[in-house]
Amino acid sequence: MLTHPLRWLTGLGAAGALVAASATPAVAAATIEPYFQDSTLAVGATPTTRALFLYADEPTVLTDVSVRYDYRSLANKITVVPADGQKCTAPEAGVLVCEEPEDVVLHEVPPIGSGTYRNVTKQVRLGLTEDAQLGDSGDIAVSFQAAGGRSGGYISQVRVGEGVDLAGGPFTTLSAKPGGKFTVPLAVANSGDTVVNGFVAVFDLSYSIRTRDRFSNCRYADDHLVSCQFDEDIPVGTGLVATLNLELAKDTYAPTNQSGYAQFMTIADFEDLTRVRAAVGARAATPGSGPKLTLTEARGRMRKADQTDVAPGNDYTGWTIKATGTNGTDLAAIGATLKGTAGAVVTATVGFRNNGPATLDKTNGDFEAATHTAVELPPGTTAVEVPDSCQLRQGTRTYQCASEMLLVAGQSYTTKFRLRIDKIIPNARGAVRVNAPCECPAGGSFQDDIKPANDKATIVVNAAQSGGDQGDGDGDGGGGGGASLPITGAPTTMIAGIGALLLVTGAGCYLLARRHGSRFTA
């Protein structure tokens, strides 16, 4: 069962209809968990490309890997052929076995410190034969073997459906102040030659974009819109439009541009992408209890057959909301006061707090931290346990730690260093500096802190009093209030949107936000 690898899946779990707040139990050490996405294939359409994803909760290297695709339940209905030039054999009808040309190294999924490691095997293409008929269905049993007896498998569902082409409406730009309300159009069209029988809109919205509506055909995570399902038909060559009432949270950073996107998909494609959510223990998003969100000139009809979007390059729409005014962020360092005897190991819980008033949201496809914290060890101490998100600067006693991408106003973000006291030095002082410089590929730390005077705090080590505690150190500096959270990992209430599941399945975060293609005008 997929567990830890897809722990970000909550809510509806669609191509991103998720809330990254609920974690499922971790995979047992050294266990490799495979995943191969379900597929709905259309007669006459271009074959669908799929890859086997492998997940672990620790760094792993697999050697001598082979992948077996057993599609005998669909013999003479589908074809499975290599897509990346790998060496494959067909030991019997309905079976393909492919050898990986190189070791498969499972790397950590961004951000650093996520604790999830992933890689993919070479891709294959799934297509239909002339014998395939609308309504046919079956399974592909995908399994892998590697040196050392490592193995695993996953059963993926395949269906034969109709091919359609959903297209999203034009992008929209508007302005609002933090806490302000606004409306955006949700526009979709049928650009194919077959009537679309129902569809789903899956939302990828910035953390700051909220809604008070609770439509019965939509799902929500707190005040965040996750997805909406529509039963209406879309005739060939026509478009439908709804209006979404949204608002910016009061803690929106300003001035900034806040982005929102919606991907339209057939109900079958939505099911293909989300069937796994129940298996991973995903927390369900909440359906609304109000009226249905309606589309102009919509006609309710029953779904007739499974359908798949055979031209998905234009199936999205988006909005840019310019947050006006001035609303900044104060990040305050949190230090520690430690006591112990020579040879003792003590814990320094250090980091920073976002004093607001704005949440700092740097969520993007580069997976760069919103800021970095430098932790300088006090003299006379040695770090014996360091967070995964922290790296020692060469030639120094200072560790640089990457933060999350989303830093919520009012929350503290701390992490633990285990320090051995090698020598008692009275009032030995180290330091914690938030917004520390970083030569990072996508930019450095936060440069616009509205109160830089509290960016530094101290780590003080002294001898323990007779009979005193030699345990954890208390925070100082910028402390006070808020939950204590790891510096990296899943943000407290981050809405990952389309990006989260695309990240999990390897398509990349916020793919929709980076594409440019044809549009229709509703």
Could you read off the pLDDT tens digit of each residue along the chain, which spans 522 residues?
333 222 233 333 332 322 222 233 333 445 788 889 899 999 889 999 999 989 888 889 999 999 999 999 998 999 999 998 899 999 999 999 999 999 999 987 765 666 778 899 999 999 999 999 999 999 999 999 999 999 999 999 999 999 999 999 999 999 999 999 999 999 999 999 999 999 999 998 999 999 999 999 998 888 899 889 999 999 999 999 999 999 999 999 999 999 999 999 999 988 888 777 655 545 567 888 999 999 987 444 444 567 777 777 788 899 999 999 999 999 999 999 999 999 999 999 999 999 999 999 988 766 788 999 999 999 999 999 999 889 999 999 999 999 988 899 999 999 999 999 999 999 999 999 999 998 776 667 899 999 999 999 999 999 987 654 455 554 444 433 333 323 332 222 222 333 334 333 332 222 222 222 322 322
**Per-residue model confidence (pLDDT) at position 515:** 28
**Per-residue model confidence (pLDDT) at position 204:** 87
Distance of CA 371 to the CA centre of its chain: 19
**Domains present along the chain, CATH in parentheses:** 4-14+23-161 (2.60.40.10), 164-325+495-514 (2.60.40.10), 328-485 (2.60.40.10)
Cβ neighbours for 462, distance < 8 A, ≥ 6 positions apart: 337, 338, 339, 424, 426, 427, 428
From the number of C-beta atoms within 10 Å of its C-beta (0-12, 13-18, 19+), residue 190 rates as buried
**Per-residue model confidence (pLDDT) at position 405:** 87
Going from the C-alpha of 43 to that of each of 48, 189, 308, 455, the distances in angstroms are: 12, 22, 10, 61
**Per-residue model confidence (pLDDT) at position 258:** 94
Give the type of residue at 312: P
End-to-end CA distance of the chain: 43
pTM of the model: 0.80
**Per-residue model confidence (pLDDT) at position 11:** 34
Residue with tokens 């975060």: 509
**Per-residue model confidence (pLDDT) at position 18:** 28
